[in-house]
Amino acid sequence: MSDTGGRLGVLKTYKLYIGGKFPRSESGRVYEVQHAGGDSAGDWLANVPRASRKDARDAVVAARKAFGGWSGATAYNRGQVLYRVAEMLEGRAGQFAREVAQVEGVPPERAAAQVDAAIDRWVWYAGWTDKIAQVVGGANPVAGPYFNLSSPEPTGVVAVLAPQESSLLGLVSVLAPVVATGNTAVVVASERAPLPALSLSEVLATSDVPGGVVNVLSGRTAELGPPLAAHQDVNALDLAGAEGELAVDLERAAAGTLKRVLRPAPAADWTADPGTSRLTPFLETKTVWHPTGALGTSGGSY
C-alpha cells in the first residue's frame, strides 16, 4: 500500500464494466500493469481483471439489450448525453493525465495534452450525432412518380479492440464514433495500458449513458478478440488494437457471420483530424420510396 502523508493510501480497485455494473471477471483472474517510464519503469502499478470468454459473451448480451433504446433515441438526445460525458471527463482530467503518464511512460505535460485532445474529440463526435444523416443520406433521383430517400441507421453491436499504444486518445477516437451513430459497443481495452479505459467506465456509469451502451473489458486481446469476432450477435468489428497475424485471424473469423470489419490502420496517428472516416463504417443505409401526390397510399423500403 502507498504512503500518503503519514497514512496508508487506499489503492484503486479496477473492475470490468458490463451492463452498467462493475463486476470482477467471472474467472477470478487478474494481471499486473506496470509503470511504463521514468524512474518507476517496471514497478507494479495496479492489478486489473483479466476478462474471460464468458465475460465477453455477457458484454455482448448487455450491448444487445441496450441497442434498441440507444438507437431509438433522437440524434439530438444522443448528442446531449455524449456531451455530458465530456463534461465529466473535464472534471477528472487530472486523474486521467496521471494514468496516461503512468501507463504510457510519457511526461506529465504530454499526458495532459493527450487528455485535453481526448475531451475535445469526444465533444467533436457528440456534435456529429445530429449531422451525419445530412452528410451520408439524401434524396435520390429516380424515374417515376415517387420520392426515394436514403437515411443511415446504426449497424448494431460493435466489438472494438482499442489501440494498444494510445490508451485514452486512441480509445476515444474509436469508441466515440461508434456510439455517436447509435451503435452499442463492447470494448477490449489496451492490454498494456488499460487503466484509462477502466476509469472511463466510471465516467460513463455516472453520466447519462444507459447501462450496456458501452461495455469495457480488460485482459488479453488475443484471448478476447476471437470469441467476439465469431459471435453471431456481434454485427461489426473494429480491429484498431489488433496487430499482425491476429488482425488477419480475426477478420477471417468475422467472415463466418458476415460482419463489417474495419481493419487496423498501420502507424495510425490518433492526434490527426479524424474527419468522418470512423462514423460511416458502422452505418447501414435504408432507402425508402413513397408515391408522390397520392394521399393514403403506402410506400416501401429496401
DSSP secondary structure, 233-260, as one string: T--EEE-TT--THHHHHHHHHHHTTT-E
Domain ranges of the chain: 17-301
What does the angle CA 118 – CA 119 – CA 122 come to, to the nearest 5 degrees? 85
Which secondary structure element, helix H or strand E, spans residue 90, and what is its range? Answer: helix 75-91
116 near 93, Cβ under 8 Å? yes
User: H or E element: which one contains 152?
Assistant: strand 146-154
E strands of the chain, at which residues?
A: 3-4, 7-8, 30-34, 44-49, 138-139, 146-154, 157-161, 184-188, 214-217, 236-238, 260-262, 283-291, 300-301
Looking at residue 112, its amino acid is A
Query: What is the chain's pLDDT, residue by residue, as a tens digit (302 residues)?
Result: 455 567 887 888 999 999 999 999 999 999 999 989 777 888 899 999 999 999 999 999 999 999 999 999 999 999 999 999 999 999 999 999 999 999 999 999 999 999 999 999 999 999 999 999 989 887 888 888 888 888 899 999 999 999 999 999 999 999 999 999 999 999 999 999 999 999 999 999 999 999 999 999 999 999 999 999 999 999 999 999 998 899 999 999 999 999 999 999 887 889 888 889 999 999 998 888 888 875 445 555 55
Q: In the chain, how long is the greatest CA-to-CA distance?
A: 81
**Cα-Cα end-to-end distance for the chain:** 60
> Are 49 and 218 spatial neighbours (Cβ–Cβ below 8 Å)?
yes
Can you name the residues that pair with 157 across neighbouring β-strands?
184
State the pTM of this model. 0.91
Q: In what order do the strands lie in the sheet with 283-291?
A: 138-139, 146-154, 283-291, 300-301
**CATH of 17-301 among 3.10.20.740, 3.30.980.10, 3.40.605.10, 3.40.50.720:** 3.40.605.10
Place of cell 483479466: 50
